[in-house]
Structure 1
Amino acid sequence: MSSEQHLNQLSATVTKFRQLQSQLCDRWQTIEQFDLSDYDILVVPSLSLDSRELTKVPGSHHYEERLLFSLIRLRNPRTHLVYVTSQPLAPIIIDYYLQLLPGIPFSHARERLTLLSTYDASHVPLTQKILARPRLIERIRKALRPQKAYMICFNSTPIERELSVELDIPLWALDPDLLPLGTKNGSRQIFAETDIPHPDGSDLVWNAKDLAIAAAALWERQPHLKRMVVKLNEGFSGEGNAVLELDPIRSIAPTQRVEAIANQFPQMRFQAQSENWTNFASRIRDLGAIVEAFIEGEEKRSPSVQGRIAPTGEVEILSTHDQILGGADCQVYEGCNFPADPSYRLQLQELGMRIGKTLAARGVLERFGVDFVAVKQPDGSWDLQAIEINLRKGGTTHPLMTLRFMTNGTFNLSDGLFYSKQGRQKYYIATDTLQKEQYKGLLPHDLMDIIAYHRLHFDSSTETGTVFHLISCLSEFGKLGLTSIGNSPQEAKAIYDRVVQVLDCET
């Protein structure tokens, strides 16, 4: 195919894709009615991210299971759901999720669920595997009603767009042409446009020399800086970050700073344990990078706000969280507490709404999340600095949706709390990274035995307990995800701690 033919084909795909997305607007009434309507839902939980960055996340090939919370949509007796994975899922895992459905017979839900697999364990994104299998595409097509179907995914890229067009169904997700808005550089541009406080930093650079020049310019503007953060433009979960300490080169004359910074790059603290400067520098050439001022503070937190943009352009704030971070400098996402601290949660919602409206004006659709750094001030207030926009289903998506589907409750914008149908305030602590060496070798059946014997499951009568995910990750990596839901922050923490205590004792 010539380059001209390729461009013509791409143009036709983009045009068709936008026509399909316009169907969402035609069908849209309200978010709640849309979720409860008579639709066939295709779930493609492909992590269509940079493969070399994904290798930094242990067990990343099992993260296709993070969207299994979508099975709870089968509580709507009119919903049919098709879930595609790279490798077949263990039946006991599917049974676990279907047993969570309140008021729906297990057999009825199972008949409305179609599970398909590519039987391909390679590191190629799942969506790409599907596109390479025409017969599988045909099976998916036959399982859907074209005028009553839509597709959801973990993140939207050109290959998800291509699959949407191939199946002739709309994708309830971002137009891939808008992906740059969710990069580190794109986030900074949106913050500046929306007048949102954010750290001083650089534009996008593509090599180590320009990165050193940008870092020296930042230091010149901020002479009291102690540290800087270097971020790969398309890194995620903090794994693509590195911290540059300035104290070792503080005595260097300003005219020699570029060279001194360049020499200091190999000594940076990389947040991914397996990272080194040689590899990091090659990723700068592939993905680009920025440098930002490191925000200091004696008492510092990492809150976030999540929202959703309807096809009509309506912006809805869904939640706030205080993130649990790890890594050398507490920049790697490990989990979250819902909701964020009352001292700043309403301010987070207001800032999130402003950012959401700016994104909506650009045509962004569906999920967005914004991460902040909060530093406590001498007067007791909190200074919020925005650091990143995520335009995908992140680590805070599935815990919130699990809570929502399990309780049929609602988020109250006036106080930033979530209330069950019975009016109870609900709280949770969630993680993707409960990981210990001693957990390795536990099979899904072993976990179910432990859950049943110690009564760790979610109790629909009290609407408290734990919902587990990443169950397939346990045996090989000793890694598990969970969402512990309580009627107070203390109860949610106690439920979470008991799960860890039980797993530790059992192993």
Structure 2
Amino acid sequence: MKTQLIDLDKQRDQFLLLQNELRERWQTVDLFDRSDADILVVPSVTLDQREMMKIDGVHHYEERLLFSLIRLKNPQTRLVYITSQPLHPSVIDYYLQLLPGIPFSHARERLLLLSTYDASPRPLSEKILERPRLIEKIRQALRPARSFMICYNSTHLEEALSVALNIPLLAAAPHLLYWGTKSGSREIFAECGIPLPNGSELVKNADDLAEVAAELWEKEPQLQRMVVKLNEGFSGEGNALLDLRKLRDVNSANRVQAIRDAFPFLRFQSAGETWESFSSKIPELGAIVEAFIEGEEKRSPSVQGRIAPNGEVEILSTHDQILGGPDGQVYLGCRFPADESYRLKLQELGVQVGQNLANKGALERFGVDFIAVRQQDGKWDIQAIEINLRKGGTTHPFMTLKFLTNGRYERSNGLFYSQQGREKYYMATDNLQKDRYRGLLANDLMDIIAAHQLHFDSSTETGTVFHLMGCLSQFGKLGLTSIGNSPQQAQEIYNKVVNALDEETGAKKETSLHSLAAIPMTWNGEITPTIQRVAENP
């Protein structure tokens, strides 16, 4: 065990030395974005695999970073993209044809696609590390002094791969990942003086979880519900709701036992989750409890930023997240930008968090999720919920917009402008899903896109960009980003996609698992429908 610890220490030291090369190489954000570089994309979703299996088609989520191919618009950029299973050629062609002003053949020559040919439910990074010949092939394809690696999230597996290839990883170092957990996020919010819900410390067993839940209830006697969260859960799939209203008659002396007895009846946000499976993860992943924020008008906005190699904090975007699940805890999609009444406040809070993370040594992407509740005076009470130290569901839509339009995000008003000066808006989801879409091949989708003119039009800078196309045939699931010159146009473009797919599959009367519903939501002053999880008709 001592030898293993020493090896891990050596690995970390070498990893950090490589990351320091990034800091020396790129002193500003502009230099980084325009650099002559070889980019290794390892889209490994290195999260708890038991949690990952809750997501339909999760092994296709390696496709979410395919927006990186748009980086090939820089004629000096070369890119290596690795997946567990080979990608369909038409999917690659689709992305390369999006490149503005770059011949398809020129971009294709600068792209190397590699695969482990391993469909097992394990992280891609682990599969690569098991294949020394593949590692050598990757090494030979890269220019060491001009290369860096990007990933979905960083763990000790990505750290090991970075060291094995001797190229730096542009992501938070694994020893900093605690700050992206539920308990770590709460500590940073407290350090920054950012409002957050009352909650507990981290615990590692069900008995302690009952204790801290009772303590939280004691501190906040009027609490109606609390959220039980796996400390390393993601997208709300690791959340469960404890309804305290059913325990009102329990006296304070018996509360711990009453809460313990209520655990098997938690309202889990992930379909098929049980207390038995949920509690089995607590010793490894940890758990906290947090006050559930009540409110008649409640939203879930977020802010995204990045920390450049030189430590500079840049705010990239704000979003209103679209949530579903039994109690609105599960991430389904997003709208850009967040409502104008609080988007500048989100930016301000995002900078505080980003600077705190930068001081701790973090790099690259971070996101902060909030809950906003409208008060009687019309103002919004905003409380921070968690930090994501990884690329999230809002990363690929925004980067797709940025790469396609060569536009800029304006901090003064929180809007995005294309090079032509147009304001840009979008609606995005990873979760457009219907049973009737099953069996559609990638080529079938291309036919539908062409027939209904659903493609992104570079002349108007509007239209839809698709992703997760590999999920379509088996799971009837698709991701998309619908870009418009107004919130209303973005919504209309999204609706056009859904209507076209319904028409082509004869699903006019069918309700999608994650579809546009009739529940209104204000988006930049306009009433628009939101996405929610609803039952699907067989």
- The 2-side partners of 1:5 and 1:390 are apart by 32
Taking only the aligned residue pairs, the percentage that are identical comes to 69
Report the counterpart of residue 480 of structure 1 in structure 2.
478
Q: Whole-Å Cα distance in 2 between the matches of residues 254 and 343 of structure 1?
A: 41
Residue 158 of structure 2 aligns with which residue? 160
Deviation at 1:502, TM superposition (A): 0.6
Amino acid at match of 1:167: L
Matches within 5 A, 1:342-381: 342-381=340-379
Cα distance between partner residues in 1 of 2:31 and 2:479: 30
Q: Which stretch of structure 1 is more off in the superposition, 277-286 or 333-342?
A: 277-286
Question: What CA deviation, in whole Å up to 9, does each residue of 1:270-320 have, x standing for no partner?
Answer: 000010111111111221100000000000000000000112111111000
- Matched residue, 1:51: 49
Which of 282, 286, 289 is 2:287 aligned to? Answer: 289
**Structure 2: how far apart are the matches of 1:33 and 1:430?**
29
Distance 1:439 1:228 in 2: 37
Which amino acid counterpart does residue 67 of structure 2 have in structure 1?
Answer: F
Question: Which residue type is aligned with residue 76 of structure 1?
Answer: N
Matched residue pairs, number?
A: 505
Q: How far, CA to CA, are the matches of 1:113 and 1:481 in structure 2?
A: 23
SS in 1 for 2:170: coil
User: In 2, Cα distance between the equivalents of 1:5 and 1:290?
Assistant: 33
Aligned to 1:322: 320
Matching residue of 1:277: 275
Aligned partners of 2:426 and 2:487 also within 8 Å: yes
Q: 1:343-374 CA deviation, whole Å, 9 max, x = no partner? A: 10000000111111111111111000000000
Which amino acid in the other structure matches residue 380 of structure 2?
A: W
- Offset of 1:219 from its aligned partner? 0.5
Q: CA deviation at 1:208?
A: 1.0
1:4 Cα offset (Å)? 2.5
Instruction: Tell me what 1:151 maps to.
Output: 149
Counterpart in 1 of 2:19?
21
- Distance (whole Å) between structure 1 residues aligned to residue 2 and residue 362 of structure 2: 29
**What residue is the counterpart of 1:74 in the other structure?**
72
Shift of 1:32: 2.8
Q: Which moved more, 1:86-95 or 1:10-19?
A: 10-19
- The residue matched to 1:204 in structure 2 has which SS? coil
1:445 to 443, 452, 465: 443
Aligned residue for 2:469, secondary structure, equals coil
Could you tell me which of 220, 223, 243 is aligned with 1:222? Answer: 220
Question: Which residue in the other structure is 1:203 paired with?
Answer: 201
Deviation at 1:421, TM superposition (A): 0.3
Alignment-mate amino acid for residue 332 of structure 1: V
Distance of 2:420 and 2:314 partners within structure 1: 23
Of 410, 418, 436, the residue aligned with 2:416 is 418
Equivalences for residues 163-242 of structure 1 within 5 A? 163-242=161-240
* Aligned residue in 2 for 1:458: 456
**Which letter does structure 2 place at the counterpart of 1:251?**
D
Q: Deviation at 1:31?
A: 1.8
Inter-partner Cα distance in structure 2 for 1:381 and 1:63: 38
Which of 276-285 and 454-463 deviates more?
Answer: 276-285
Q: Secondary structure at the match of 1:303?
A: strand
Instruction: Give the counterpart letter for 1:115 in structure 2.
Output: L
Structure 1 residue aligned with 2:399 = 401
Alignment of 1:119 onto 2:109:
no
Aligned partner of 2:32 in structure 1 is: 34
Which residue in the other structure is 1:333 paired with?
A: 331
Separation in structure 1 between the aligned mates of residue 295 and residue 238 of structure 2, nearest angstrom: 22
Distance in 2 of aligned mates of 1:425 and 1:382: 25
Structure 1 CA distance, aligned partners of 2:196 and 2:172? 24
1:388 paired residue number: 386
Q: Aligned letter for 2:132?
A: P
In structure 2, what is the Cα distance between the partners aligned to 1:155 and 1:354? 22
User: Equivalents in 2 of 1:196, 1:483: separation in Å?
Assistant: 31
State how far apart, in whole Å, the 2-side matches of 1:182 and 1:254 are.
34
* 1:84 alignment partner, SS class: strand
Runs of 4+ in 1 over 6 A off after TM superposition: none
Give yes or no for contact 2:135–2:165 (8 Å, CA) kept in 1.
yes
SS in 1 for 2:117: coil
Aligned residue for 1:18, secondary structure, equals helix
Distance in 1 (CA, whole Å) between partners of 2:310 and 2:127 is: 32
| Cα distance between partner residues in 1 of 2:3 and 2:355 | 37
Distance 2:133 2:151 in 1: 21
* Whole-angstrom CA distance in 1 between matches of 2:114 and 2:418: 34
Aligned partner of residue 472 in structure 1, secondary structure: helix
The equivalent of 2:531 in structure 1 is none
Do 2:27 and 2:310's aligned partners in 1 also have CA atoms closer than 8 Å?
Answer: no
- How many Å apart are 1:33 and its aligned residue? 2.4
Residue of 482, 501, 504 corresponding to 2:502: 504
Q: How far does residue 149 in structure 1 lie from its aligned partner after superposition?
A: 0.6
Contact persistence 2:27–2:309 (CA under 8 A):
no
1:248 corresponds to: 246
Stretches of structure 2 that go unaligned for 5 or more consecutive residues are 506-538
Counterparts of 1:443 and 1:455, CA distance in 2: 18
